[in-house]
Structure 1
Amino acid sequence: MTAAPRPALTERDYRGAATPTNRKASAVAATNTVVRPGSTKRSTSRWAPTARKLTPYAFLSPTVIVMLVLMLIPVIMVIGYSFMDNVITNKNPVFVGIDNYVEVLNDPVFRTATGNTLFFTLVSVAAHLLLGLGFAMLLNSPLVGNVTKALFRVVYILPWLFTVAIIAVLWRLMLNPNGVINYILISLGLTDKGIEWLSSPETALLAVTFINIWAGYSFYMVTLLAGLQGVPADLYEAARVDGASAFQRFWNVTLPQLKPIIISMSVLDIIWTSQQFALIWMTTGGGPVNVTEMLSTYTYKLAFSRYEFSVASASAVLILLLTMVLAFFYVRHQKARD
């Protein structure tokens, strides 16, 4: 069997063939191709690394500008006002040094507000943690059905969904002398008449603290529930095999796994609760007789009730310093955790 004859090469095939001479000519032509100094290609390659480095800063610049205008500049202005006499009502304010800080620290109302803020903050944070952890463990328990868990999640998360204004109005109506709370207490025979929960010096601070606890435990519950669902089941199995009781499994397995989350949330909650203003202002306004006066309401009254803006600025700077201390510990903990 003979092979098929090969087709004859034409003159065009000879011209396009990759002969050594053609390859050499192509290489020389590529080598002799020189980019002009003013060309776009050379300019683009020169500035490309710099453009890549500046691109992230270009995306961040709007946020940085907003933060400078709305946060950094006002803070600097308030710090400057705290060293002057009344800067708003006085056309020519003068430098008075630390006189405003001395006045604030010697004010008995400021000391009362500091004590109220400490009580309000510490009790609220502790109750948030205990209630949030308890409800989170309940919702994570295998003894509760899925339908029941879904129902409880909706009920428990409701306080976190309400705005501060709604919470304040709701509890003012419920704690009214003719409200639902007093009606239930009178029906059960626990009291003979309606109690002025938000107007009595004996109960006002406890009442606003209770309202804040009710409004804030859901944040802990949701976060701790996510943490509980992330704990490996193998740890509980190993502890159960070793004969650990339910309390020992909770103390030696659950709490160590949730410790980073608990510390982070507690520090954040201390910062948020110590600066609580809207709830106090819309329920008691700091009264009666400064019983519920907080650092936030005290500073607000200095500025917009007594029009002592420089003294209010000094009080605000003191609150800022306290908050910065808490923020320092929070950032330090986060770095150690990472």
Structure 2
Amino acid sequence: MSNTRFKWDKKGRRRIGISYAYLAPTLILMVILLMVPIIMVIRYSFFDNVIVNKNPVFVGLQNYKTVLTDKKFWEAVGHTLYFVIVSIIAHMIIGMAFALVLNTRYLSSTTKGIFRVLFALPWMFTASVIAILWRMLLDPNGVLNFFIQALHLSKQQVLFLASRDVALRSVTLINIWSGYPFYMISILAGLQGVSTDIYEASALDGANSVQTFLHVTIPSIKPILISLIMLDFVWTLQQFALIWMTTGGGPVNATETVSTYIYKYAFTKYQYSIASTGAVILLIVCTIIGIFYVKRQIAEE
């Protein structure tokens, strides 16, 4: 009996060892490309101007005090919250609407296929292509201004990306357009997984379309919606490329977000300690959301 158990333990350890051997290359890459930079950035946040200064001095929480008392940082936080919240709400509404259209039985399979391609098109473009496309559309001499003046909606050209009044809303609109397909595809997958028996039962109970949507459809795909909101919050919170390539955080910091704030301090002002501190604060927020997301996934399982 003991020899059999010994052989089994030996075989089990060998199997575990082989499993970790297969995982080793990925784990090593994750440590080098992910964990090491995170640890370095956290360390930089506790010193004075690192990299530029050959002998940085430990300053403790002074950098955090500097960032958290900076008016520009809180302006960036306000812009970021507007950008994130409006984007998430619009993504949810548009994604849900298009998913319901694609899930309806009143359209033929060919029509649904065409609509799927058209609706999912923004998701296929990279941030650079989206930025160039929308800069052309929103240019003072662009297509959108042409229609605005042709329809006599405004006598003057609208400076969508160069006016403090509308720049943030314009960038948010671009992000909404580029991000809603993720919601649409995910919600559509959830809708197709809902049993038709539930809808038939609700119809027999006399429920109308609105009641069916609120009391059958939404509860059935609620886990998907919560996961989408959490993921979108983290992704939109870290959105940088789209903002930087359209407005660069301007005009006069009108579209400055936490990500562009960090970038400017690092690569324009060369104050890497302040940039690292801002990055750590953003990391903490994303980590908290990530913990809630993981707990939610575990609870569902």
> 1:1-28, CA deviations, whole angstroms, 9 ceiling, x for partnerless residues?
xxxxxxxxxxxxxxxxxxxxxxxxxxxx
Structure 1 consecutive aligned stretches of length 4 or more whose deviation exceeds 6 Å: none
> 1:262-288, CA deviations, whole angstroms, 9 ceiling, x for partnerless residues?
000110000000000000000000001
Counterpart of 2:201 in structure 1: which amino acid? Answer: A
> 1:243-301, CA deviations, whole angstroms, 9 ceiling, x for partnerless residues?
11111111111000010000001100000000000000000000011110000000000
- Within 2, Cα distance between the matches of 1:228 and 1:251? 13
**1:70-81 alignment to 2 at 5 Å?**
70-81=33-44
Q: Secondary structure at the match of 1:193?
A: coil
Evaluate the alpha carbon distance shift between residue 58 and residue 167 of structure 1 in structure 2; reply closer, same or farther with a 3 A threshold: same
Counterpart of 2:64 in structure 1: which amino acid? Answer: Y
Counterpart of 2:53 in structure 1: which amino acid? Answer: N
Aligned to 2:137: 174
Task: Pick one of 238, 245, 250 that aligns with 1:287.
Answer: 250
Aligned to 2:271: 308
1:95 shift after superposition: 0.6
Counterpart of 1:160 in structure 2: which amino acid? Answer: W
2:80 equivalent to 1:117:
yes
- Within 2, Cα distance between the matches of 1:310 and 1:146? 56
> 1:202-243, CA deviations, whole angstroms, 9 ceiling, x for partnerless residues?
000000000000000000001111111111000010100011
Aligned to 1:199: 162
Aligned to 2:91: 128
Aligned to 1:274: 237
Task: Pick one of 183, 186, 199 that aligns with 1:220.
Answer: 183
Evaluate the alpha carbon distance shift between residue 45 and residue 319 of structure 1 in structure 2; reply closer, same or farther with a 3 A threshold: closer
Counterpart of 1:283 in structure 2: which amino acid? Answer: T
Aligned to 1:30: none
- Within 2, Cα distance between the matches of 1:191 and 1:145? 41
> 1:161-203, CA deviations, whole angstroms, 9 ceiling, x for partnerless residues?
0110000000000000000000011111111122110000000
**1:1-338 alignment to 2 at 5 Å?**
47-338=10-301
Counterpart of 2:289 in structure 1: which amino acid? Answer: L
1:317 shift after superposition: 0.5
- Within 1, Cα distance between the matches of 2:180 and 2:91? 4
Counterpart of 1:240 in structure 2: which amino acid? Answer: A
Instruction: Tell which structure's C-alpha radius of gyration is larger.
Output: 1
Evaluate the alpha carbon distance shift between residue 151 and residue 45 of structure 1 in structure 2; reply closer, same or farther with a 3 A threshold: closer
Answer with 135-144 or 259-268: which moved more.
Answer: 135-144
Q: Secondary structure at the match of 2:30?
A: helix
TM-score by length of 1: 0.86
- Within 2, Cα distance between the matches of 1:46 and 1:226? 43
Q: Secondary structure at the match of 1:142?
A: coil
1:49 shift after superposition: 3.8
Evaluate the alpha carbon distance shift between residue 53 and residue 165 of structure 1 in structure 2; reply closer, same or farther with a 3 A threshold: same
- Within 1, Cα distance between the matches of 2:185 and 2:13? 45
- Higher RCO, 1 vs 2 (CA within 8 Å, ≥6 residues apart): 2
Counterpart of 1:63 in structure 2: which amino acid? Answer: T
Structure 2 spans left out of the alignment, 5+ residues? 1-6
Q: Secondary structure at the match of 1:71?
A: helix
- Within 2, Cα distance between the matches of 1:135 and 1:53? 46
- Within 2, Cα distance between the matches of 1:217 and 1:165? 17
TM-score by length of 2: 0.96
Evaluate the alpha carbon distance shift between residue 46 and residue 256 of structure 1 in structure 2; reply closer, same or farther with a 3 A threshold: closer
1:47 shift after superposition: 5.0
1:53 shift after superposition: 2.1
